[in-house]
Amino acid sequence: MARRIVITSGKGGVGKTTCSALLGAELAKLGARVVLLDCDVGLNNLDLAVGVETLVNYDIVDVVESKCRIRQALIQHPKLPLLYILPSAHCNNTGKVTGENINSILEELSKTFDYILIDCPAGIGMQFHNAVFGASEAIIVTTPHLIAVRDAGKVAHLLCGYNLVSVGLVVNRIRNDLISKKFMLSSEEIASSLDLKLLGTIHESDQITAVSSVYGNLFSIKDNTILDFQKLAKNVHLCKSQEILPRGFWGIKRKKGV
Ligand SMILES: Nc1ncnc2c1ncn2[C@@H]1O[C@H](COP(=O)(O)OP(=O)(O)O)[C@@H](O)[C@H]1O
Ligand SMILES: [Mg+2]
């Protein structure tokens, strides 16, 4: 049975797709069978982030419309054989994929994979709910910026309405130089303000910026952020035994009005 982890945030552009791709790669390097499910219908870009955009023949909408089987739409990563991608579509009709559709895809994928990382679209509309609907766990990604943190808090609140066994936090684009000058909150401070378990800290990376600007494929980066993603993958992997613990173990105590 796969762990179905939705990577969500509320605010767009905070690094959900980046984290889905690089966390997935590191989990696969640990020996897990991983599938990345792009649930951002209409604004799909996970295929580009992992460098398989030229290998896409079918997408999630084709699966939902029974134009192909799930395994026909799955792309095995050419460099990481344990990593697969189920791409999303660039159609305008985001209503084509429902939460039930995604859930049945998850059920099918669960038979074959250890991890399903669900790359959630930005916002808290129907597509957000569809992506969260079949998940068993959630990782909220935020940057240290107040607007993103606030949205992360709102999403954490919304996630309380779902039957998730755990909700963890990843703080992305951290800069130690700014933290030491007190111009940026640390990831620990952010996790504490949101009352969420901190699963990982990802530093600001010029290589991620450069690669995503001119090349697309994040798997070519070689700087220290790879170590951040390795740590994150180990933390996620280690949390396996916590699946059986009651919800709330990771400490979601909502504050009034968040
Ligand atoms: N740690 C990082 N350092 C530098 N740039 C980053 C980092 N994480 C993400 N980015 C950049 O931020 C932008 C948005 O990231 P993305 O993963 O697409 O966000 P989301 O999926 O939440 O919309 C991309 O251009 C990406 O390259
Ligand atoms: Mg994205």
Average pLDDT for 27-54 = 93
The model's pLDDT over 165-221, given as tens digits with 9 standing for 90+, comes to 999 999 999 999 999 999 999 999 999 999 999 999 999 999 999 998 887 789 999
Q: Is 37 helix (H, G, I), strand (E, B) or coil?
A: strand
Choose among 225, 229, 187: nearest CA to 206: 225
User: What is the number of the ligand closest to the CA of 148?
Assistant: 1
- How far apart (Å, rounded) are the C-alpha atoms in residues 155 and 105? 24
More confident residue, 92 or 33: 33
Domain boundaries, the chain: 3-238
Report pTM: 0.92
Residues with Cβ within 8 Å of 66's Cβ and at least 6 positions away in sequence, in order, are none
Quick check: CB of 208 below 6 Å from ligand 1?
Answer: yes
Q: Which residues surround ligand 2, an ion (CB under 5 A)?
A: 16-17
Distance from the CA of 73 to the center of ligand 2, in angstroms? 20
Distance from the CA of 49 to the center of ligand 1, in angstroms? 10
Instruction: Write the burial class of residue 111 (CB in 10 Å: 0-12 exposed, 13-18 middle, 19+ buried).
Output: exposed
The model's pLDDT over 3-31, given as tens digits with 9 standing for 90+, comes to 999 999 989 999 999 999 999 999 999 99
The residues pairing with 168 across neighbouring beta strands, listed in sequence order, are 139, 197
Its CATH architecture, for the domain 3-238, is 3-Layer(aba) Sandwich (3.40)
Dihedral sign, Cα of residue 154, residue 15, residue 97, residue 76: negative
Quick check: CB of 15 below 6 Å from ligand 1?
Answer: yes
